[in-house]
A and B are shown apart, each in its own frame.
Chain A
């Protein structure tokens, strides 16, 4: 049994420490995978977040022995890891800029994290922290959609939400985030 499989078992049994152990493992695996991939690609090449997370899942959890629920915990951790990686990078770039003052951009649309301007990405990150307090499940759905690039249906399935619940939860979280960004950006 792999280390991650073992941790996922403990997460499902309700061990609160297990969830905390999962994140660093997933985070490091994603960074390692991405670094290896980038080393083999010509400069300027891009990687797909969704494919990367799926690959990390296969490598860490093995041959599909984990059930759906275990998968959900893993992907939620991966979304969190992606969020931290991208947010750290946006912050670093902001620090490097002279003056460092915020350059606010108008909110038009939002698709996936990787093609979102840094200032908007940072605003989404902060807003999602607030949403996680009001609506933890909705925030998880948005993270899987925005940081991993899953469709909202895939994200809901991973979290084990019934279809109607998923639709309602998604609708509220999306509308809430839009209003919040309109207010802060």
Chain B
């Protein structure tokens, strides 16, 4: 799957930093890897910070798997219309 991955330096640096323990070592790595690009550096550090702190955001296991369902208005036997057209960016 990686062979088709788009070029994304932000992701590459994030993922390498992710393997390091949070703290000075990680920060030094990011600063080095961003090579003086302050915007990229701030962005990667913000993503790492989010990773460490945003616990309620998409926890690894869903808290509520069985919630409300699919809004279905058809009844059995109804003819189902065509799939909504994909947007161009898909």
Contact = CB atoms under 8 A, between A and B. Distances in A.
A171 B69 contact: no
Interface of B: 1, 4-6, 8, 11, 14-15, 18-19, 46-48, 50-51, 54, 56-72, 74-76, 78, 80, 82-84, 87, 89-90
Contact of B89 (A88, A108, A129): A129
Contacts of B63: 111-112
B84 A115 contact: no
A137 B15 contact: no
Interface in A72-131: 82, 84-86, 88-89, 107-112, 114-115, 129
Nearest to B74: A35
Nearest to A146: B58
A177 B58 contact: yes
A134 B8 contact: yes
Nearest to A108: B56
A57 to B, nearest CB: 16
Interface of A: 23-24, 27-28, 30-32, 34-36, 38-39, 46-52, 82, 84-86, 88-89, 107-112, 114-115, 129, 132-138, 142, 145-146, 149-153, 159, 161, 167-172, 174-179
Contact of A85 (B47, B48, B61, B70): B70
Given A23-B83, A175-B54, A179-B47, A34 B70 contact: yes
B75 to A, nearest CB: 6
By DSSP majority rule, is chain A's interface helix, strand, loop, or mixed? helix
Contacts of A153: 60
Contact of A111 (B15, B59, B69): B59
18 contacts: A27-B83, A31-B80, A39-B76, A47-B69, A48-B67, A49-B65, A50-B66, A110-B56, A114-B64, A132-B90, A134-B11, A135-B6, A135-B11, A149-B65, A151-B62, A172-B47, A175-B48, A177-B57
Given A35-B76, A133-B6, A111 B64 contact: yes
B67 A46 contact: yes
B83 A111 contact: no
